[in-house]
Amino acid sequence: MKQRHYNAHTIANTIRMTRRMRQEVWVLVEGDTDARFYSGFFNEKVCYIYPVYEKKVAVEVIQIINSSKVPGVIAIVDADYDTLGNSLNIPNLFFTDTHDIETLILKSPALEKTLKEYLPGNRLKKVQALAEDVRQALIEVGIFIGYLRWLSGKMGWNLSFKEMPLERFIDQNNIALDRIEVVRYSMAGKRGSVLSPDEIQQRVETEMMEQHDPWLICQGHDLVHILAIVLPEILKQYIGRDRRIRPLYHEIDRRLRLAYEPAFFTRTKLYCAIVLWERSHSVCILKEEIRSAQPCVQRTRLRRGRT
């Protein structure tokens, strides 16, 4: 069960008291699924992965800890839109390379590994082409929703994306998004809006011309949902039209996470930033087999479990 009742000061005080008795490095993450994901990379004998259940809380805890000069505490959070424009630059705070964990996984070879499960044996050589088609489709459909989410927060539109039924807005034959209907759905129940749906769509499409990194714009949950919708149509080109595969969202999400290997993590900027943090604090918190697989900086002899 999620423990949402702890605020940043309570967590910071717990960390202070615990570190007086034990020297584990605290690794704060946003939620339970994040904790499970990162547990595959960190040596939990010398660090404690702790979900705080809200990104804002993780950031506040790190700021409190930094001001108190308590060593051995870091936080890893989703980049979301924080690395676009003026990004947060807080010591001991780390961001994902892409929008969130799901986009990190979809951009990695974990997608190819997952797609192999849907191809017959005589089509496995086509997996790279299939993955390229899938990623292109995900970005083409998901980019508008990503920009809409971003501008909603930035411009104070306060649009609602809760339980958005994307299957209603995606033409599966052409793999295209009905943008105006997405806007109308997000505005449903909102009174007194200054802008009309057409004006909001135009504002979003104008912003899209800035061509920000789509892997920072698109939200991972949206892309996994889109993948479950469009994959059957894309697969027709590779396995024929007589076979119908309709994967569920939770099935694909689970397969993608299981397919993500530690070796993929070592190719990220996040991994390199953590290795540099280890060096500057003379401590090893990553699993040795991960660090030895692909060091991104010159390795040095580090002490274990102390900061």
CA–CA separation, 68 and 48 (whole Å):
20
Q: Does a structural domain hold residue 306?
A: no
Whether pLDDT at 297 is above 80: no
Backbone φ, ψ for residue 47 (5° rounding):
-145, 160
CA 51 from centroid of its chain's CA atoms: 15
pLDDT of residue 160: 94
Report, as an integer, the average pLDDT of 198-203: 97
Residues 131 and 180 occupy one common structural domain: yes
Residues 121 and 45 occupy one common structural domain: no
Whether pLDDT at 279 is above 90: yes
CA–CA separation, 113 and 92 (whole Å):
33
Report, as an integer, the average pLDDT of 156-161: 93
Report, as an integer, the average pLDDT of 203-217: 96
Residues 207 and 286 occupy one common structural domain: no
Task: Say if CB 131 and CB 112 are below 8 A apart.
Answer: yes
Residues 107 and 203 occupy one common structural domain: yes
Whether pLDDT at 243 is above 70: no
Residues 44 and 88 occupy one common structural domain: yes
Residues 142 and 157 occupy one common structural domain: yes
pLDDT of residue 86: 65
CA–CA separation, 3 and 234 (whole Å):
41
Whether pLDDT at 295 is above 80: no
3-class DSSP state of 253: helix
Residues 136 and 47 occupy one common structural domain: no
Residues 161 and 249 occupy one common structural domain: yes
Task: Say if CB 42 and CB 49 are below 8 A apart.
Answer: yes
Residues 112 and 76 occupy one common structural domain: no
Domain extent at residue 81:
8-97+268-293
Residues 61 and 130 occupy one common structural domain: no
Q: Report the range of poorest mean pLDDT among 32-46, 57-71, 93-107, 120-134.
A: 120-134
One-letter identity of residue 198: D
Q: Does a structural domain hold residue 277?
A: yes
Domain total in the chain: 2
pLDDT of residue 300: 40
Residues 85 and 115 occupy one common structural domain: no
Whether pLDDT at 195 is above 50: yes
Residues 51 and 170 occupy one common structural domain: no
Q: Where are the beta strands (DSSP E) in the chain?
A: 25-29, 47-51, 73-77, 93-95, 170-171, 176-177
Q: Does a structural domain hold residue 302?
A: no
Q: Does a structural domain hold residue 182?
A: yes
